[in-house]
Amino acid sequence: MPRNFAPSFCPVVNPARPTARAWSQAFSQPGRPFEPQPLTLLEGKIPPEIQGTFYQNGAARFRRNGAAVGHWFDGDGAILRVSFEAGQAQACYRYVQTAGYRAEHQADRFLKGGYGMLAPQPWWRRIGSPLSQAIKNTANTAVLALPDRLLALWEADRPHALDLETLETRGQDDLGSLGAGQGYSAHPKRDPKTGDIFNFGLEAGPVTRLHLYRSDASGQIRQRAAYALDGVPLIHDMVLAGRYLVFCISPVRLDLVPALLQLRSFSDCLRWHPQRATEIWVFDCDRLERISRSQAPAWFQWHFANGFVQQGEIVLQLVRYSDFRSNALLGEIPRGHLSETLDGQLWELRIDPRTAALGEQTCLYDRTCEFPAVMPQEVGQEARTIFFAAHRPQGEIEGELMGSLVGIEPRTGGRSQFDFGPHRYLSSPVCLPHPTEPGQGWVITTVFHGSGSFNGSGAVAGLGQGNRQAQHQAPSEKSETTSGPSSEIWIFQSSAIERGAIAKLALPCPIPFGFHGTWAAKP
């Protein structure tokens, strides 16, 4: 297993002719809202200890009146809510009623631009409008459950508040402090010891600023700080590691002139500068004060798994990419194909907090993966297991999305993996802690099946010390049926994901893939 990161380590496949895959059916129709209703249990049993609500946000509408979005990130956000009580489940699914969504729904056409698309109007009209007003807040990326409301997050603007039960949209929420043009990222970190919520946002201007926020458990911002940035970078996530916040600022910068003049979309104006460094910034959580910064060879990351302090060093775990090609590839997904294979791998980095200098680097998983997660009580501390989505171990990778769930135990080297079988794809996994048994819990995910359901289950085990061996073989293509697409909720025992789901529930209709979700335990 490689110990030091090299940009050329991951092979990239270039198919001569992209082929539509089964997952493309998730983008062929907009997500269809549905009212609260009981879910049918397809297999297994819901543990009675699971008491609470699973929320998931994701882009759900990609076309209007024949026009298509420019990027996966441009789809209007829709929230899935699944509540669990006494071994039963009930779900509903609603679009976030942003001002942009309501206006476009009434007009039956796109009116504003987005991350990967320009507003559909002549260029001379676009030039005269501020960029902040030309891009729609899609509220599509993640959710933050607070005691009295649910926040639908979109990092370039203020979040939208929704009713926790009905998902009715209440409007934008400033959390008591957010001003116009100040973003609130889609990846807040909740300290499991204090309940405090840490987040950040970028504010563009003559000098772009990184804003740091510290909120109490109610979501109200109680402390903040701001730091000047070099240019306009793309910062999607950060790490809480013990008493530190850590940012890895990759050398992606916005090409300002075409962006401000709206000659190209925001995404198309983002430039990768491999000759520049990735900057590492370390902050003290209590004071929101930067205590060190350094530079390292260029890489890019969308998501961190976790961070913690060990023997005086900060340990970061992240899915790292050799460059920024993943952005363009993610933009292809709503069109139903991938021209290359994403090259993100799970890495562990060690950093000296006094200097932010990068030390030892270890690859934990050398195949394509994404959406890492740990148990919420382990955020900022050493976690036993990191769960994430990955490609099927025996399936075709070229042009495919991820169809297996993996659990890695960094301390022991243990690895477990479940193969969902042909044409089944998972959204980002969410961890549910057991209410009374520390170290135990469950992993929940939505599963899209492009060809209906199949009979059987599949599991494989990874290689290396401490791996749990397969209980079943992955289902073959012959086990498929030919019914239409469907979506389901699968629940796994966190300590034995390789055994397959302990409960499977049918959603009333297929829904597009979710980006990020959260779990809110019943009080």
| Tens-digit pLDDT profile for residues 137-169 | 999 999 999 999 999 999 999 999 999 999 999
Q: Which of 5-14, 343-352, 432-441 has the lowest mean pLDDT?
A: 5-14
Q: Where are the beta strands (DSSP E) in 204-299?
A: 209-215, 221-228, 239-241, 244-249, 252-254, 270-272, 278-284, 289-296
pLDDT at 19: 61
Q: Mean per-residue pLDDT for 402-423?
A: 97
- Give residues with Cβ within 8 angstroms of 59, minimum separation 6: 72, 73, 74, 75, 76, 77, 78, 138, 140, 512, 515
Q: How far apart are CA 443 and CA 375, in angstroms?
A: 9
Q: Are 289 and 283 in contact (CB under 8 A)?
A: yes
pLDDT at 468: 40
pLDDT at 465: 32
Q: What token pair was written down for 304?
A: 């961190």
pLDDT at 366: 96
Amino acid, single-letter form, for residue 148: D
State yes or no: pLDDT of 16 exceeds 60.
Answer: no
- Give residues with Cβ within 8 angstroms of 140, minimum separation 6: 57, 58, 59, 60, 73, 75, 76, 77, 78, 96, 152, 154, 515
Burial of 224 (0-12, 13-18, 19+ CB in 10 A): middle
Q: Residue 219: which pLDDT band, with cuts at 50, 70 and 90?
A: very high
Question: Residue ranges per domain, the chain?
Answer: 22-521
Q: Mean per-residue pLDDT for 76-87?
A: 98
State yes or no: pLDDT of 6 exceeds 80.
Answer: no
pLDDT tens-digit profile of 24-71?
Answer: 999 999 999 999 999 999 999 999 999 999 999 999 999 999 999 999
Q: Which three-class secondary structure state does DSSP give residue 28?
A: coil
Q: Are 169 and 98 in contact (CB under 8 A)?
A: yes
**Cα 95–chain centre separation:** 18
Strand order in the sheet with 345-352: 300-310, 313-321, 345-352, 357-365
Q: Residue 128: which pLDDT band, with cuts at 50, 70 and 90?
A: low
Q: Are 411 and 384 in contact (CB under 8 A)?
A: yes
Q: Are 163 and 175 in contact (CB under 8 A)?
A: no
pLDDT at 130: 72
Q: Are 62 and 69 in contact (CB under 8 A)?
A: yes
State yes or no: pLDDT of 132 exceeds 50.
Answer: yes
- Predicted TM-score (pTM) above 0.85: yes
Q: How far apart are CA 333 and CA 329, in angstroms?
A: 7
Q: Residue 134: which pLDDT band, with cuts at 50, 70 and 90?
A: confident
State yes or no: pLDDT of 4 exceeds 80.
Answer: no
Q: Residue 439: which pLDDT band, with cuts at 50, 70 and 90?
A: confident
Q: What token pair was written down for 53?
A: 């609500």
Mean pLDDT of the chain: 91
Share of the chain above pLDDT 70, in %: 90
pLDDT at 180: 87
Q: Which of 185-199, 245-259, 477-491 has the lowest mean pLDDT?
A: 477-491
State yes or no: pLDDT of 320 exceeds 70.
Answer: yes
Q: Where are the beta strands (DSSP E) in 96-158?
A: 142-145, 150-153
Amino acid, single-letter form, for residue 308: F
Q: Mean per-residue pLDDT for 325-344?
A: 95
For 356: left if phi > 0, alpha if psi spans -120 to 50, otherwise beta; the answer is left
Residues shown for the chain: 523
Q: Mean per-residue pLDDT for 230-250?
A: 98
pLDDT at 458: 36
More confident residue, 514 or 457: 514
pLDDT tens-digit profile of 354-369?
Answer: 999 999 999 999 999 9
Give me the DSSP letters along 456-523: S---B--SSTTPPPPSSPPPPGGGB-----EEEEEEEETT-GGG--SEEEE-SS--PPPSEEEEEE--
pLDDT tens-digit profile of 466-491?
Answer: 344 333 334 444 434 447 899 999 99
Q: Mean per-residue pLDDT for 129-134?
A: 74
Q: Where are the beta strands (DSSP E) in 62-183?
A: 63-64, 67-68, 76-85, 88-95, 142-145, 150-153, 160-162, 169-172
Q: Residue 206: which pLDDT band, with cuts at 50, 70 and 90?
A: confident
pLDDT at 222: 98
Q: Where are the beta strands (DSSP E) in 137-196?
A: 142-145, 150-153, 160-162, 169-172, 189-190
